[in-house]
């Protein structure tokens, strides 16, 4: 994960210079791959810019040769963690092993991964709590079956 986060930091600095724009195979957000600036797509991304990988897609970023191999390695590790979580849920729920992938399709072909960076300067002035803290990720619903969040701390 550390390699992917380091490569992403370099790639974020060049977002305007060359990563593929968000769109990929379709304009449907569930199947899109590419990059976006803060404020793009929805209010959910008002303070976040990022890279999106859908359904096994990968791509490089000009000037950051380690980006694609590092993100592929991260997505592979995250997929293994997700499979472990699904296996634990299957055991707990007394479902047959592999039930989630049998019902929803292979994880690699039916998943979306994001690398995001917060942009506090993009927060609108009204997005503050009563004690003056900025709200950079608004309340939202998540359509995903499983959300696995890794933070670069």
- pLDDT digits (tens), the chain, 153 positions: 788 888 888 888 776 644 455 544 455 677 778 888 887 777 777 888 888 888 888 888 888 899 999 999 998 998 999 999 999 999 999 999 999 999 998 988 888 888 888 888 887 777 788 888 877 777 777 777 787 777 665
- Enter the tokens of residue 59: 């791509």
Return all residues near 93 (Cβ < 8 A) that are at least 6 apart: none
> In this predicted structure, what is the pLDDT of residue 103?
93
> In this predicted structure, what is the pLDDT of residue 98?
95
Closest CA to 77 of 152, 10, 4: 4
Q: Which residues, listed in sequence order, are joined to residue 73 by a DSSP beta bridge?
A: none
Closest CA to 42 of 108, 152, 139: 139
Q: Which helix H or strand E contains 79, and what residues bound it?
A: helix 67-92
> In this predicted structure, what is the pLDDT of residue 102?
95
What sign does the dihedral 7-140-23-109 (CA atoms) show? positive
């Amino acid at each position: 994960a550390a390699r992917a986060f380091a490569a992403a930091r370099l790639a974020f600095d060049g977002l305007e210079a060359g990563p593929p724009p968000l769109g990929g195979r379709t304009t449907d957000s569930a199947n899109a791959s590419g990059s976006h600036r803060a404020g793009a797509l929805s209010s959910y991304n008002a303070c976040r810019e990022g890279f999106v990988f859908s359904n096994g897609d990968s791509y490089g970023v000009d000037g950051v040769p380690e980006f694609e191999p590092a993100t592929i390695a991260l997505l592979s590790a995250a997929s293994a963690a997700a499979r472990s979580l699904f296996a634990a849920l299957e055991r707990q729920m007394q479902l047959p092993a592999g039930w989630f992938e049998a019902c929803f399709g292979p994880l690699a072909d039916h998943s979306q991964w994001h690398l995001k960076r917060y942009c506090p300067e993009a927060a609108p002035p009204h997005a503050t709590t009563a004690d003056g803290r900025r709200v950079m990720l608004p309340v939202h619903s998540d359509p995903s079956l499983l959300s696995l969040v890794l933070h670069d701390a």
